[in-house]
Structure 1
Amino acid sequence: MTYLRLLVRRHRLLLSAWPLLLVVLTGATVTAYQDTYATDAQRQAAAELARENAASTLMYGELPEPGTVAQMFAWEVGAITTILAAIAAVLVAVAATRATEDDGTLELVRSTGTDPRTPLRAALVVLVGVASVLAVGSATAVALVGALGGVDAVTSSGAAAFGAVLGATFLLVGTGAVVLAQVAPAAGGARALGLAAVGLAFAVRAIADSQDLRWLNWFSPLGLRATVRPFTDNRWWVLLVALLASAALARLGTALAARREYGAGLVPAPPLRTSRLHVRSSLGLAARLDRRSILIWTVGVASLGTLFSAMGSGVVEQSRDQELDGFLGSQLGTADPVAGYFAYSGTVVGLVVCAYSVLSVSRYDRDETAGRTALILTAGVRRWVPLAAQLGATALGAAIVLTATGLLGALIAPSVFTGSSVATRALGYTLGQWPAAMVMAAVAALLVGCRPRLVWLAWVPLAASGVLALLGELLGIPRAVRDAGIFQHVPDIAGPDPYYGGLALLLAVALVGVVLGLVGATRRDVVAG
């Protein structure tokens, strides 16, 4: 119990911020669907559009029949919140397990004679506790707000199933991340593996729904929503299967932890090269070390962008024929639907690239903890240079990822969409996300430069900006508040009068954050492992 209290106290911000965000998001959005789809005709039209649009199915899954307000809420908001819950699970699981080894906390605790099995058991209890809070909180919020707002088809059993799906998704991904944490050589690698597993789970879920292979949802934590079907069937027995799978993963993680060396993973770190590494600057070194990561992200993000470019013609044509309501209508807006669609797909790509920026800058913290930064400083470089070099490599990597994605979209889009300046818009709305990626890199640099232990907070503004961009108009959030997010400022470069002031403001904010982060790095001691 003492170590459990230590974990909760030390990570109290992380353990409270994510559940609070998800509970508020679910409670605040449920009434918006009742207001948006006020009549049966509006609901039927929106449901038919959602089922016919391949891009919607890829992103959110299959909308159940008959498409009630509650079902549309679980379809759209459920897809976003389960992804956020999965990301939170990875961060919490790694912070409570391998990160305590990397920063020396666990070594200090074990020196007091604590049972070696206690820390991992305490971390699993933390995961169960957060999952329970998330499930109960979101279910209560949806049920209460739905009842008070008179939202159609929001039942207490459906709300409970919806909350249970969020909690079970968090627990399933969290226990899986615990297993991966025993495999990876360090906490940074465990986070990367965990987030890669979330991406793979999304891909499996997307294939299952878009290709009518529903059985594949059983092999993806993000497919749990499609198999439980909140507000439709409420299959509680599926949740029991998910809990049993989580228990099996927890048992596997415990067994693997007993078979690895302290501070190391079951898969050892790659051996050091005996040949010389010819680099002439800190930036060259950072870029050389990040090249494999940049290649992987480029392939993954470009594939995602290509899918959106190839699957959006249906919704654009329907937007031209009739006025769209709901989520898709809020994304396409009232202007040219081609511009609206590429603004939406650019936002999705921007979210992923911003996640890359946060992870890339966070690598500086891992290098410093492992002692690599101290070795670089012995060469006579200034204290702020290694962080600046990592920022430079991140900026270059984000530019490469966005350029490759934009060029592929520009090549494919003209053969799918009809209209003017299709290729220009496909490229412009993708490249326009680079300033947003730089803002997130600057936020991560500010945190890692001043307080490395709080670098996880960089995910909070990213998640908040994503919610404002994807759900802000649907929720009736004022335009001034939505503009506070980082994804609302890309202009239509093919439009009559594009405005670039928003992008300039983002770059100015990024510059200020970078400068403050570099100053913070020079005013504290180097953390060495």
Structure 2
Amino acid sequence: MTTATVGGRHYTAPAARGSADFAGTTRMLRLFLRRDRIVLPLWVFAFGLLPAFYVGSAKAVYTTQADLDHAAKSVMESPALVAMYGPVFSTDLGSVGLWKAGPFYAMIAIATILTVIRHTRVEEETGRAELVGATSIGRYAGLTAAMIMTATGCLVVAISSALALYSSDLPAAGSLAYGATLGGSGLAWAGVAAIAAQVSVGARVARGVAFGALGTAFAVRAVGDAGNGVLSWFSPLGWCINMRPYADERWWILIPLLTVGIVTTVAAYMLLRQRDTGSGLLAERPGAPVAAPMLSGPSGLAWRLQRGSLLAWSIGFLLYGSLMGGAINSVGDMLDNSKQIRDVINRMGGTDVLQNSFITFALSMLAIAASAYSISAVLRLHDEESSQRAEATLAGSVSRVRYALSHIGIALVGPVVLLLVAGAAVGIIYGISDDDLAGKLGDCLGAAAVQVPAVWVLTGIAVTIYGVAPRYTPVAWGVLSAMITIFVIGSLDGLPQWIRDLVPFVHPPKLPGSSFQATPILWLLGIAVVLLGVGIAAFRRRDLR
């Protein structure tokens, strides 16, 4: 027996570990940018320009310094308003005008969380990350590309919002401070999302972890601002509020914001090194050996998959509705003397009674939030199909229509639950403070209920996109973002009515305070039914992906 050696082969040292881990980052970035070519510009555009519209509206409403002083004083006398939006630190136009833009710090966090998780954990959950990783793509390329794209979006938001505010004749320092803080908030929460993507096994759990942290930060900030302000310093959202644009800016607050973004990002890379692709650091609990009776059909399975999300959203709607109920009586004191404010609120869909107008507009905004829940419930169908779990379910004695309706039913019922919970919270708190519990509760529940058909139109749009062109299902988020932009800008700046009519949330009866009209409700229901029918029929006929 002899041993043969193969000549001509020479040992080649492998590339440095660090460079190999990041190989292909540029190509992954190009792929992510192409996939987000619609959604990314939408949230960058919205957060970059909407703050200036808020200031423009305040400039048109508060025409004198006395009006600004009165508005700031009224806000600070209402703990509920301070908890919802944060305190007003000065009576300058910029500070008062941007007061209601305080929630943008949390809204950009939502955008960055969804963006990072969509391009990290979702890629692993669907198996695409493992397929791409089998090529010459480094281990860290996907996470790096997602973070670069998100950070670039935050940078563009910071620059565009600062320039837009400065062009509104506001001081440069305050404009730059607000823009930098808005971008810094997005960066900080992008890092939190990156960690959530490493510790969880599925995208749904990752979103739950990140949004749970965001909800906790919002609650801590709200309680702190409504109190003595100390607790707010334990929340990144509280740091953003305390930057105090146009009121002796605290530039050093950018240091902890950026530190959180850097530390969480570095931690995400360290956690990524410690796990296998497709796995998570939080171990999955073993399921029961025998399925519960509720899991005997597709409806039970859909409920099992989505019940946690509905519970979390319900708690959020309950808390926010309670805050709004406590703020209603303060609205009249703050706004009652301004004809300009009445005009703006009436364009938003209100009546001559400011308290009723506030309820109408507040529940319209909650209807938009309920639409986001409904779209996410519909997207669960898309996720199940992309991960090929839908194919396994449909291989049994389950029709496509029955399978689709199991998730669509939750997308339709869920917003009803959320809006009624919020309406009940508003009515109870408002009724107790006004010594008219039964009357105010009934009014607020009715005002919440009439918003449901408008939400179902968005549900129908998402189902239609999923049925006709499943790969473009996430575009439903872009449709919702466009409608929010039109709704807000049209309310503040008086867009032509035909443009505002494209948004379903402007059509429900303006309850409480005006008479109920069935015609717009019937039209919205008819449109929703047609859209749902088209989407389900298309899904029934097409091939699974």
Name whichever of 475-484 and 305-314 sits farther off.
475-484
Once the 2 structures are TM-superposed, how far is the Cα of residue 252 of structure 1 from its aligned partner? Answer: 0.6
Contact map agreement 2:454 2:508 (CA 8 A) in 1: no
SS in 2 for 1:272: coil
**Of 210, 214, 239, which aligns to 1:194?**
210
AA at the equivalent of 2:533: V
What is aligned with 2:5?
A: none
Contact map agreement 1:51 1:57 (CA 8 A) in 2: yes
> Does residue 52 in structure 1 map to residue 52 in structure 2?
no
> What is the TM-score with the length of structure 1 in the denominator?
0.89
> Does residue 112 in structure 1 map to residue 130 in structure 2?
no
Contact map agreement 1:54 1:312 (CA 8 A) in 2: no
For residues 501 and 468 of structure 1, the distance between their equivalents in structure 2, rounded to whole angstroms, comes to 23
For residues 366 and 88 of structure 1, the distance between their equivalents in structure 2, rounded to whole angstroms, comes to 19
Q: Report the CA distance shift for 1:414/1:34 in structure 2 as closer, same or farther (over 3 A).
A: closer
> Does residue 423 in structure 1 map to residue 441 in structure 2?
yes
> Does residue 180 in structure 1 map to residue 180 in structure 2?
no
Contact map agreement 1:414 1:423 (CA 8 A) in 2: yes
> Aligned ranges for residues 33-432 of structure 1 at < 5 Å?
33-65=58-90, 67-77=91-101, 79-144=102-167, 146=168, 151=169, 154-213=170-229, 215-279=230-294, 281-316=297-332, 322-323=337-338, 325-326=340-341, 330=345, 333-417=350-434, 421-432=439-450
Contact map agreement 2:151 2:187 (CA 8 A) in 1: yes
Cα deviation code 1:56-86 (max 9, x no counterpart): 2122110112x21111222223x24323311
Q: Report the CA distance shift for 1:273/1:440 in structure 2 as closer, same or farther (over 3 A).
A: farther
Name whichever of 238-247 and 473-482 sits farther off.
473-482
Name whichever of 410-419 and 219-228 sits farther off.
410-419
% identical aligned pairs? 29
Once the 2 structures are TM-superposed, how far is the Cα of residue 28 of structure 1 from its aligned partner? Answer: 3.9
For residues 25 and 221 of structure 1, the distance between their equivalents in structure 2, rounded to whole angstroms, comes to 22
Contact map agreement 1:301 1:352 (CA 8 A) in 2: no
**Of 413, 421, 437, which aligns to 2:455?**
437
For residues 80 and 502 of structure 1, the distance between their equivalents in structure 2, rounded to whole angstroms, comes to 31
AA at the equivalent of 1:71: S
Once the 2 structures are TM-superposed, how far is the Cα of residue 324 of structure 1 from its aligned partner? Answer: 6.4
Cα deviation code 1:127-185 (max 9, x no counterpart): 222221111122122223x1xxxx3xx11222111111111111111111111111221
Q: Report the CA distance shift for 1:325/1:64 in structure 2 as closer, same or farther (over 3 A).
A: farther
Cα deviation code 1:417-474 (max 9, x no counterpart): 2679422211111222222332222232223333444333323343444455556433
Q: Report the CA distance shift for 1:506/1:269 in structure 2 as closer, same or farther (over 3 A).
A: farther
Contact map agreement 2:84 2:323 (CA 8 A) in 1: no
AA at the equivalent of 1:312: I
What is aligned with 1:488?
A: 506
SS in 2 for 1:276: coil
Once the 2 structures are TM-superposed, how far is the Cα of residue 246 of structure 1 from its aligned partner? Answer: 0.6
Name whichever of 280-289 and 39-48 sits farther off.
280-289
For residues 80 and 263 of structure 1, the distance between their equivalents in structure 2, rounded to whole angstroms, comes to 34
Contact map agreement 1:188 1:363 (CA 8 A) in 2: no
Q: Report the CA distance shift for 1:233/1:118 in structure 2 as closer, same or farther (over 3 A).
A: same
SS in 2 for 1:293: helix
- The count of residues paired between Structure 1 and Structure 2 equals 516
Cα deviation code 1:265-292 (max 9, x no counterpart): 2123343332133246433442344334
> Aligned ranges for residues 491-502 of structure 1 at < 5 Å?
491-492=509-510, 495=513, 497-502=515-520
Q: Report the CA distance shift for 1:126/1:200 in structure 2 as closer, same or farther (over 3 A).
A: same
Larger radius of gyration: 2
Once the 2 structures are TM-superposed, how far is the Cα of residue 210 of structure 1 from its aligned partner? Answer: 1.4
AA at the equivalent of 2:194: V
Contact map agreement 2:54 2:98 (CA 8 A) in 1: no
Contact map agreement 1:338 1:422 (CA 8 A) in 2: no
Q: Report the CA distance shift for 1:496/1:92 in structure 2 as closer, same or farther (over 3 A).
A: closer
Once the 2 structures are TM-superposed, how far is the Cα of residue 329 of structure 1 from its aligned partner? Answer: 6.6
Once the 2 structures are TM-superposed, how far is the Cα of residue 364 of structure 1 from its aligned partner? Answer: 1.4
Name whichever of 83-92 and 411-420 sits farther off.
411-420
Contact map agreement 1:14 1:92 (CA 8 A) in 2: no
Q: Report the CA distance shift for 1:392/1:221 in structure 2 as closer, same or farther (over 3 A).
A: same
For residues 224 and 449 of structure 1, the distance between their equivalents in structure 2, rounded to whole angstroms, comes to 43
Contact map agreement 1:406 1:430 (CA 8 A) in 2: yes
Once the 2 structures are TM-superposed, how far is the Cα of residue 16 of structure 1 from its aligned partner? Answer: 2.1
For residues 412 and 23 of structure 1, the distance between their equivalents in structure 2, rounded to whole angstroms, comes to 35
For residues 23 and 327 of structure 1, the distance between their equivalents in structure 2, rounded to whole angstroms, comes to 27
> Is there any run of 5+ residues in structure 2 with no aligned partner, and where?
1-25
Once the 2 structures are TM-superposed, how far is the Cα of residue 98 of structure 1 from its aligned partner? Answer: 1.4
> Is there any run of 5+ residues in structure 1 with no aligned partner, and where?
none
For residues 378 and 198 of structure 1, the distance between their equivalents in structure 2, rounded to whole angstroms, comes to 39
For residues 25 and 458 of structure 1, the distance between their equivalents in structure 2, rounded to whole angstroms, comes to 21
Contact map agreement 2:130 2:278 (CA 8 A) in 1: no
Contact map agreement 1:326 1:474 (CA 8 A) in 2: no
> Does residue 507 in structure 1 map to residue 530 in structure 2?
no
Q: Report the CA distance shift for 1:326/1:317 in structure 2 as closer, same or farther (over 3 A).
A: closer
For residues 493 and 81 of structure 1, the distance between their equivalents in structure 2, rounded to whole angstroms, comes to 27
Q: How big is the alpha-carbon RMSD for the aligned residues of Structure 1 and Structure 2?
A: 2.7
What is aligned with 2:21?
A: none
Once the 2 structures are TM-superposed, how far is the Cα of residue 496 of structure 1 from its aligned partner? Answer: 6.0
> Does residue 460 in structure 1 map to residue 478 in structure 2?
yes
For residues 198 and 268 of structure 2, the distance between their equivalents in structure 1, rounded to whole angstroms, comes to 7
For residues 278 and 498 of structure 1, the distance between their equivalents in structure 2, rounded to whole angstroms, comes to 43
AA at the equivalent of 2:73: E
> What is the TM-score with the length of structure 2 in the denominator?
0.86
AA at the equivalent of 1:20: F
Once the 2 structures are TM-superposed, how far is the Cα of residue 122 of structure 1 from its aligned partner? Answer: 2.3
Q: Report the CA distance shift for 1:258/1:495 in structure 2 as closer, same or farther (over 3 A).
A: same
AA at the equivalent of 2:503: G
For residues 266 and 486 of structure 1, the distance between their equivalents in structure 2, rounded to whole angstroms, comes to 43
AA at the equivalent of 2:159: V
